[in-house]
Amino acid sequence: MSSSRRSVWLCTLALIAAGVASCGSDDDGLNDADAASTPSSVGVATRSSDTQPGSPQNTIAASPTSTSSAEPLAEAPSLRVTPLTQAADDPVDLVQDPVSGDLLIAERSGTIRRLGQDGELSDPLIEMAVATDMIEQGLLGMVFSPDGDYLYTNRVNPDQVTAIKDYHFVDGVPVGDPIRILEVPQPYENHNGGGMAMDEAGLLYIGFGDGGSGGDPHNNGQDAQTVLGSLLRIRPIPREATYEIPADNPFVDGPGAPEVWHFGLRNPWRFFLDQERDLLWIADVGQNVEEEVNAVDLSSSGLNFGWAVKEGLTEYERPHTPWGAADFTDPVYVYDHEDGRCSITGGVVATDDASQDWYLFGDYCSSEIWAMNADAMSDGDAPVYPLPQTRVRNPVAFALDGDGQAYVLDQSGFIGRITLSR
Ligand SMILES: [Ca+2]
């Protein structure tokens, strides 16, 4: 095996701060909703000017390989959000300990707590120092190893360095100090990515934004030699402060950074390994115009998702540096910034019987939630349904427990269990 060990990784650059609009939130109380709506469909290569009632207005839906409209499913799913707690402090992620069965909640301020069956949040199991000057900093994501021995965390340190660390877990309790796996300095405060996933083979995927500011001033998205603007794939060596490069990574022998699995991303805040369908879903947050859902084969690698030459399906402004992958991989679905939409919160495909057909995602600003027919993705032909308004305000994450049950977390501190049905 030709994998090689890498020491802690570094990048460079400059400063400046750019904020993300934080939108108003007026909780209207418990409002679990069930309703059916009309889908919009993937497979139309131009802006849709005739969206049907109940579908997102001015939504753009596209497939680069198809020019015909998809045949929508006859029926939208119903959505139910069952409240678990309203008391989390800016929750950003949820995982289930495979050994103890505990649900753990990551809070952006740097704490990890248990969420009990009764909705009670425990005292912190883990506390860490993080930067919290702006909304995209802090503790941003976490994932357990499949055996439950290690919890991997993704944070922005007070010195504005992204740090990936592992915590050793024994019987539901962290033991000893965390060990640093990887560090990457962040040139700006925003676009820190934050999502993480681990596959059954123990490979860790980490989403990195383009480094921040606006418009990718250093063209990091198109530069696969930097880990910024990329999805990384590494094999952590637990407790050894290092990692291996999988031998089948696309740039293991150059010209890109060997950690890079895909690039051309702006801020892949949330992505999802769909091992049931062998799909990788990446929701990439847009700049001014479009939010995008990407879905590609799990086995494909070295793909260039286009930023900052393209924002969604629209030309942006950065030149394409002609090396690495020459062709852009376009999103399977985009939506624009009409009606207060501003930032996609990428989702999950639950595996419970009622929800297993649907990729759930939402918009942080408008608090809308959509369901895309996941099984139709392999045909490039996936209807997208707007789901009825719920009590969820400013959704920041969707997550699955060990049984594949879906959850939604919002900025107000609300965490709910999601059930879809037909
Ligand atoms: Ca893109």
Which pLDDT score is estimated for 239? 86
How close is the Cα of 174 to the center of ligand 1, in Å? 38
Q: How far is the CA of 154 from the centre of ligand 1 (A)?
A: 23
Query: Partners of 112 in the beta sheet?
Result: 106, 126
Give distance in angstroms: CA of 294 to centre of ligand 1: 8
- Which residues in the chain land under pLDDT 70? 1-74, 320-326, 378-381
Alpha-carbon dihedral 326, 47, 266, 216, rounded to 10 degrees: 80
3-class SS letters over the chain: CCCCEECCCCCCCCCCCCCCCCCCCCCCCCCCCCCCCCCEECCCCCECCCCCCCCCCCCECCCCCCCCCCCCCCCCCEEEEEEEECCCCCEEEEEECCCCCCEEEEECCCEEEEECCCCCECCCCEECCCCCCCCCCCEEEEEECCCCCEEEEEEECCCCEEEEEEEEEECCEEEEEEEEEEEEECCCCCCCCCCEEECCCCCEEEECCCCCCCCCCCCCCCCCCCCCCEEEEEEEECCCCEEECCCCCCCCCCCCCCCEEEECCCCCCEEEEECCCCEEEEEECCCCCEEEEEEEECCCCCCECCCCCEECCEECCCCCCCCCCCCECCCCEEEECHHHCCCEEEEEECCCCCCCCEEEEEECCCCCEEEEEHHHHHHCCCEEEECCCCCCCCEEEEEECCCCCEEEEECCCCEEEEEEEC
Instruction: Using a CB cutoff of 5 Å, list residues around ligand 1, an ion.
Output: 305-306
Q: Cα–Cα distance between 113 and 190 in angstroms, integer?
A: 25
**C-alpha of residue 329 to centroid of ligand 1, in Å:** 7
What pLDDT does 37 receive?
42
- Ligand 1 centroid to Cα of residue 332, in Å, is 10
Q: What is the Å distance from ligand 1's center to 87 Cα?
A: 35
- For residue 337, what are its two tokens? 């910034």
pLDDT of residue 318: 78
| Max CA pair span of the chain | 58
- Cα(304) to centroid(ligand 1), Å: 8
155 C-alpha to ligand 1 centroid (Å)? 24
Residues 334, 56: Cα–Cα separation, whole Å: 11
Q: How far is the CA of 159 from the centre of ligand 1 (A)?
A: 29
Cα 83 to averaged position of ligand 1 atoms, centre (Å): 34
Give residue 287 CA to ligand 1 midpoint distance, Å: 11
Taking the centre of ligand 1 as the mean of its atom positions, its distance from the CA of residue 224, in whole angstroms, is 15
Contact of 55 with 39, CB cutoff 8 Å = yes
Domains of the chain: 31-421 (2.120.10.30)
257 C-alpha to ligand 1 centroid (Å): 20
Q: How far is the CA of 306 from the centre of ligand 1 (A)?
A: 5
Say how many Å lie between the CA of residue 267 and the centre of ligand 1.
Answer: 10
Calculate how far, in angstroms, residue 268's C-alpha sits from the geometric centre of ligand 1: 10
Q: What's the predicted TM-score (pTM) here?
A: 0.84
Query: What pLDDT digit, counting tens, does each position of 331-373 carry?
Result: 999 999 999 999 999 999 999 887 888 999 999 999 999 999 9
Residue 265 alpha carbon to ligand 1 centre in Å: 6
Rounded distance from Cα 20 to ligand 1 centre (Å): 19
**pLDDT value, residue 74:** 53
Please identify which residue in the block is written with the tokens 């057909």.
357
Cα 273 to middle of ligand 1, angstroms: 18
Q: How far apart are CA 407 and CA 85, in angstroms?
A: 12
**pLDDT for residue 69:** 37
Residue 291 Cα to ligand 1 middle (Å): 9
From residue 194, give the alpha-carbon distance in Å to each of 139, 201, 269, 384, 409: 8, 21, 6, 26, 15
Structure tokens at 136: 């995209």
Ligand 1 centroid from CA 388, angstroms: 27
Please give the Cα distance from 6 to 3 (Å, whole number). Answer: 10
Supply 305's token pair: 């998702």
**Dist. CA 310 → ligand 1 center (Å):** 6
Q: How far is the CA of 325 from the centre of ligand 1 (A)?
A: 14
Residue with tokens 């707590």: 113
Structure tokens at 122: 């425990």
Q: Which of left, alpha, beta for 43 (phi over 0: left; psi -120 to 50: alpha)?
A: left
Rounded distance from Cα 312 to ligand 1 centre (Å): 5
Would you give the distance in Å from CA 234 to the centre of its chain?
17
